[in-house]
Amino acid sequence: MLIGVPAETVPGETRVAVTPETAKKLVAQGHTVRVQSGAGITAAITDAALQAAGAEITDAAGAFACELVLKVRSPSDGEAALMKPGTAVVGMLNPFDAEGLQRLAAAGLTSFALEAAPRTTRAQSMDVLSSQANIAGYKAVMIAADKYQRFFPMLMTAAGTVKAARVVILGVGVAGLQAIATAKRLGAVIEASDVRPSVKEQVESLGAKFIDVPYETQEEKEAAEGVGGYARPMPQSWMDRQKVEVAKRVAAADIVVTTALIPGRAAPVLVTEEMVQAMKPGSVIVDMAAPQGGNCPLTEAGRTVIKHGVTLVGETNLPALVAADASSLYARNVLDFLKLVLPKEGGFKIDLEDDIVAACRMTQDGQVTKK
């Protein structure tokens, strides 16, 4: 199979879909790997390292003129036009972007969005949402520590004692758990909230305190348990009680990291303007939900702003700020997915009996085939 890897063109996208490690494995399986010159440089991968792994270096047109194209982000119109109808594309294609999928279908591309893989044990090694959210959670805390003008750990010095930073994490999925673990390593005192009942134990096992908001009705309990491990929008009654508890913690916090998301919907508002006004000057909010509208209405996507004396970080692509490791984990996710569609006997196989392949397939034969 002729496999192409173009450079990413979305502004700020520094990741790449192949590394020397994965290129070497694909070449060992008998494939030809063509990478656009410079595609890896923002992720600390040189053309020479890729060549040493057996990849060929080409230009953009050469990388797109392949049977299978590996991407990080969905191809633009111009990029789609560089691919022949029937080309297979694997990437983070945003399954909720109906227009984007229509564009891929119109270009005749057979596309697979890895974000759509089920959150099952078999799919874990190709779970791009987890690999990238883990990195994002870490970087969110690193940015918070950078913006915050005080220490994270408690320090006893000859010049006096410095108090530990109080960190509140709202939304404890993969990113939130990593944010807790990272803040803990830095010595902060942490409290965290999530709607899902299974999270409490995980939060406590990381040495943080869970902000308990007990369910009062069957409807609240069922919404919290969600579907397929994902949260559903919570009834207003529960959101109101959560708000009271969160407001108290946010007022006392130095750092707030928000990660609360509901797939395919706008992010829930968890930190209101009033809560921001009640925060101490110099506090920092990193709103990881910024691309989905933010968990705080004061967040500005893609910008860092100061409002009511609080720094609000609305970075929209945190994994791209840790480009080397983000690419390395992402490229391994891609390689594992390819095992399902590149059989040993050769060719490209779309086995719709395979739940992962069926869930990831977005377009084929000019149609949007998303399940």
Active site residues: 119, 124, 127, 130, 230
Contact 3, 66 (CB under 8 A): yes
**CB closer to ligand NAD out of 121 and 218:** 121
To ligand NAD, the closest distance from the beta carbon of 309 in angstroms equals 25
Q: Min. distance of Cβ 224 from ligand NAD in angstroms? A: 8
Q: Which of 136, 65, 114, 101 is nearest to 331 (CA)?
A: 114
H or E element that contains 255: strand 255-258
Distance, CA of 65 to CA of 34 (rounded, Å): 9
Contact 47, 58 (CB under 8 A): no
Distance, CA of 347 to CA of 341 (rounded, Å): 8
| Residue number, 43 or 175, with CB nearest to ligand NAD | 175
**Closest distance of CB 133 from ligand NAD, Å:** 5
165 in Cβ contact with 254 (< 8 Å): yes
Q: Is the dihedral of CA 202, 203, 209, 211 positive or negative?
A: negative
Residues that bind ligand NAD (CB under 6 A): 119-121, 124, 127, 129-130, 133, 170-176, 193-196, 229-231, 234, 259-263, 268, 270
State the minimum distance, in angstroms, from the CB of residue 209 to ligand NAD: 15
Question: Which residue's CB is nearer to ligand NAD, number 229 or number 281?
Answer: 229
Which residue, 21 or 245, has its beta carbon nearer to ligand NAD?
A: 245
Q: How far are the Cα atoms of 28, 90, 123, 359 from residue 336, in angstroms, in the given order?
A: 15, 12, 9, 15
In the complex with ligand NAD, the residue whose CB is nearer, 51 or 94, is 94
**In angstroms, what is the minimal distance from the CB of 129 to ligand NAD?**
5
**Residue 332 CB burial class (10 angstroms; 0-12, 13-18, ≥19):** middle
DSSP labels, 120-186: STTTGGG-HHHHHHHHHHHHHHHHHHHH-SS-SS-EEETTEEEPPPEEEEE--SHHHHHHHHHHHHT
Residue nearest to ligand NAD (CB): 173
Q: Which two tokens stand for residue 85?
A: 């109808």
- By the 8 A CB rule, do 135 and 143 touch? no
Pick 187 or 229: Cβ nearer ligand NAD: 229
Q: How far is the CB of 308 from ligand NAD (least distance, A)?
A: 22
